[in-house]
Chains A and B, each alone.
Chain A
């Protein structure tokens, strides 16, 4: 009887993905990072707005999302209920890792959010401004350690661009890759590294609590409600936007793709999603269909150029 009970729980749990309009969202990063937050926000809003009855989030971390992407592309082929969160980091990681699986092997649905990079130092750090950090970087690039996401991701690219703009050899930067925002945050809070770089949302609570000092953001102009200069104001001609998207499995029929696109559009237009964007400090950059596909191609080409430029891709 006991075993029967256990078996039925298990069977019930395994049967869950079979219901229609349920989604399993792969967050190809460790819990706590940007993709994880995006996936969990999608989960909440999809359920809250009644677009889907049951949404699960699964973390498949590592290597700028290429591990999750590869697993997703191979395991979910033709599954209309599977989604993966991804973004700019993945574009870079695919190039640096020479990943056999690329964004061409999944079905990109829509770009959802954009987020600017924030550069922070521990509250106790001697570095008060971006100018201080640049000075330290010029003096000895290796002595400035940066904690951020996966090797070759947006954070890494941004650091390379900052070095280049400051006239420092970008191949000399001392970048410490962490697999998710959470672990990098702990390293910055513990003053293990000189500076940290990641999406603003991941630092926001700490910045507000005064445990981290925000010294610059990577937007073109100042962001409303964020008290920090842009990199441009600090004399570095660098603008980096880390966009995030949602993609579906490869091998979907046109009807299935249309159904997923419709669900995602409903989500992007919903009040609940707008609320999430506001609280998380993400910019709404919803872009779908052919326009998104064209933009994606352009971004891939541009990123390849940047990575070669700063020596991350040979």
Chain B
């Protein structure tokens, strides 16, 4: 029962009024910086970490936890309201969330994101506390072939979920894949498609592409519409809060998103984005009204947002149990922990229980604060939509540019931002979905490297890809996900899908 005692003690410390204030400050700062496009959680934590050094260890851990969860959550607000995801993990949120916001349902979208994040954060943090050693064992079972199978599944679900026209979805995906091979190949060290330009040696930054395609592309699209576009977005239609129906449609996706996001976040080569892709695809497949997807289905916000935040806690699993920082955010947190003499590794839970449980308690408190902060703010956020468009989009353009050069101060990066912005605009005009491009850039290198590693380990024996039980199951699900829609289409639902495609932006 020592586990519980440590946790209770940690909670008691974290619930002191002063520490609650630190948690609130941390969450506020984290959310505020996380909201800016181009500034993801990693940069948010890195920028704000020095702030925590001035406090005592308990206070700083708590503020730190607040910044982390706040930064993870912050990106979803702009995704939903403005269709400009701040980082790659909230791209999926933009798909349905922004459609909801345009239909005057921004309030419920933000609420389901906030409450979903809270639920997922709560469950995943408890998971971190009690089942981390088991989860990490599961994560380590994932070798190159299992990762490859997971990537295949992600590809299949993504291509069927994002493009209502398969051809257009695949076209977008392959644009992303083509962009993903630019740079030095990791396994052989050879350069590909860099045309002797040194700036292209390290490939194309996902954040730059995402911000360009979404934020810049959206701005250009709106600007090009001029007076022809809808004059005014209706900020609120119906209640700002979630209705009974919204709750009923949200709670299952929250839970499913959590269970998808947490283990994938815990995998050393997983990452928050993949969880959100899989959650979105799952919700679309399980929804009673799949035709609402693409037009603002609340499940499509609830699930991925929960997955996103659950994977944030999942990332801490290998960090605390193995000392493995698997994301940039985790690496920066490692530096933060070392400030307090906390050396993550296999012996951490045994040698430093107070600090570990203190951190977990802090995460729970931070998660709660996030809800306290964000629910009342929803009414305010929604008012963003009533800002006249020229001002609003000028602001987005400014923040997107600042965020990108803030993350990587290079003229080249800025050039890429603008070039991809134009590409994003062109794709919108010609009706190609945007998300698969970013998905291709994220998944492409992962899939390629893992496949080549798997084949190298097996010395070229392809059958190894199917002989692991986990890989076989994942590939079977992928095959089913590919074939079932084809059958549905063949049975006459194709027209509905085609019509939906026409409505797609």
Residue ranges of A at the interface with B (Cβ–Cβ < 8 Å) = 3, 5-7, 9-10, 13-14, 31-32, 36, 40, 43-44, 54, 56-57, 59-60, 62-64, 66-68, 70-71, 74-75, 93, 96-97, 100-101, 142-143, 145, 150-152, 174, 176-177, 179, 182-183, 185-187, 189-190, 192-193, 205-206, 208-209, 211
B225 at the A interface (CB under 8 A) = no
Contact present for B328 and A74 (CB under 8 Å): no
Our pick among A3, A63, A64, A145 for the contact of B395 (Cβ within 8 Å) is: A3
Our pick among B32, B399, B459 for the contact of A143 (Cβ within 8 Å) is: B459
Question: Which residues of chain B (311-349) have a CB below 8 Å from chain A?
Answer: 318, 322-328, 330-331, 334-335, 338-339, 343, 345-347
**Closest CB-CB distance, B221 to chain A, in whole Å?**
23
Stretch from B141-149, B210-218, B255-263, B490-498 forming part of the interface with A? B141-149
12 contacts between A and B (CB under 8 A): A13-B47, A14-B402, A44-B339, A63-B186, A74-B198, A97-B184, A174-B459, A176-B187, A179-B186, A205-B323, A205-B345, A205-B347
- Which 5 pairs between the two chains have the least Cβ-Cβ distance? A31-B331, A192-B143, A190-B140, A205-B345, A209-B346
Question: Which residues of chain B (456-494) have a CB below 8 Å from chain A?
Answer: 456-457, 459
B281 at the A interface (CB under 8 A) = no
Contact present for B324 and A185 (CB under 8 Å): yes
Closest residue of chain B to A206, judged by CB?
A: B346
Note all chain B residues with C-beta closer than 8 A to A31.
325, 327-328, 330-331, 334
Note all chain B residues with C-beta closer than 8 A to A62.
183-184, 186, 202-203
Our pick among B325, B346, B347 for the contact of A182 (Cβ within 8 Å) is: B325
Contact present for B202 and A71 (CB under 8 Å): yes
Note all chain A residues with C-beta closer than 8 A to B451.
none
B206 at the A interface (CB under 8 A) = no
> A57-B335, A209-B346, A211-B346 known; A70 and B141 CB under 8 Å?
no
Note all chain B residues with C-beta closer than 8 A to A97.
184, 189-191
Note all chain A residues with C-beta closer than 8 A to B202.
60, 62, 67-68, 70-71
Say whether chain A's binding surface is mostly helix, strand, loop, or mixed. Answer: helix
Note all chain A residues with C-beta closer than 8 A to B346.
205-206, 208-209, 211
Note all chain A residues with C-beta closer than 8 A to B403.
10
Note all chain B residues with C-beta closer than 8 A to A211.
346
Note all chain A residues with C-beta closer than 8 A to B330.
31
Contact present for A151 and B47 (CB under 8 Å): no
Closest residue of chain B to A32, judged by CB?
A: B325
- Measured in the bound complex, the distance between the Cα atoms of B458 and A145 in whole Å is 9
Note all chain B residues with C-beta closer than 8 A to A182.
268, 324-326
Our pick among A14, A40, A179 for the contact of B335 (Cβ within 8 Å) is: A40
Our pick among A44, A59, A74, A150 for the contact of B331 (Cβ within 8 Å) is: A59
Our pick among A186, A187, A209 for the contact of B318 (Cβ within 8 Å) is: A186
Note all chain B residues with C-beta closer than 8 A to A100.
196, 198
Question: Which residues of chain B (157-200) have a CB below 8 Å from chain A?
Answer: 183-184, 186-191, 196, 198-199
Note all chain B residues with C-beta closer than 8 A to A32.
323-326, 331, 334
Q: B221-252 toward A: CB 8 Å interface, digit per residue (1/0)?
A: 00000000000000000000000000000000
Q: Given A179-B186, A186-B318, 8 more contacts at CB 8 Å?
A: A31-B325, A32-B334, A40-B335, A143-B459, A151-B188, A177-B189, A186-B268, A209-B346
Contact present for B410 and A10 (CB under 8 Å): no
B290 at the A interface (CB under 8 A) = no
Our pick among B183, B189, B406 for the contact of A13 (Cβ within 8 Å) is: B406
Contact present for B269 and A9 (CB under 8 Å): no
Residue ranges of B at the interface with A (Cβ–Cβ < 8 Å) = 29, 32-33, 35-36, 39, 46-47, 50, 139-144, 183-184, 186-191, 196, 198-199, 201-203, 268-269, 318, 322-328, 330-331, 334-335, 338-339, 343, 345-347, 395, 399, 402-403, 406, 409-410, 453, 456-457, 459
**Closest CB-CB distance, B155 to chain A, in whole Å?**
21
Closest residue of chain B to A150, judged by CB?
A: B189
Note all chain B residues with C-beta closer than 8 A to A190.
140-143
Note all chain B residues with C-beta closer than 8 A to A176.
187, 453, 456-457
Note all chain A residues with C-beta closer than 8 A to B188.
151, 177
Closest residue of chain B to A39, judged by CB?
A: B335
Closest residue of chain B to A41, judged by CB?
A: B338
Closest residue of chain A to B145, judged by CB?
A: A192
Closest residue of chain A to B32, judged by CB?
A: A6
Note all chain B residues with C-beta closer than 8 A to A101.
198
Contact present for A150 and B325 (CB under 8 Å): no
Note all chain B residues with C-beta closer than 8 A to A54.
50
Contact present for B457 and A9 (CB under 8 Å): no
Note all chain B residues with C-beta closer than 8 A to A60.
202
> A40-B334, A205-B345, A209-B346 known; A93 and B189 CB under 8 Å?
yes
Our pick among B35, B39, B47, B184 for the contact of A66 (Cβ within 8 Å) is: B184
- Measured in the bound complex, the distance between the Cα atoms of B500 and A200 in whole Å is 57
- Measured in the bound complex, the distance between the Cα atoms of B331 and A96 in whole Å is 28
**Closest CB-CB distance, B222 to chain A, in whole Å?**
19
Note all chain A residues with C-beta closer than 8 A to B190.
97
Note all chain B residues with C-beta closer than 8 A to A10.
33, 36, 39, 399, 402-403, 406
- Measured in the bound complex, the distance between the Cα atoms of B441 and A248 in whole Å is 32
- Measured in the bound complex, the distance between the Cα atoms of B184 and A151 in whole Å is 11
Note all chain A residues with C-beta closer than 8 A to B325.
31-32, 182
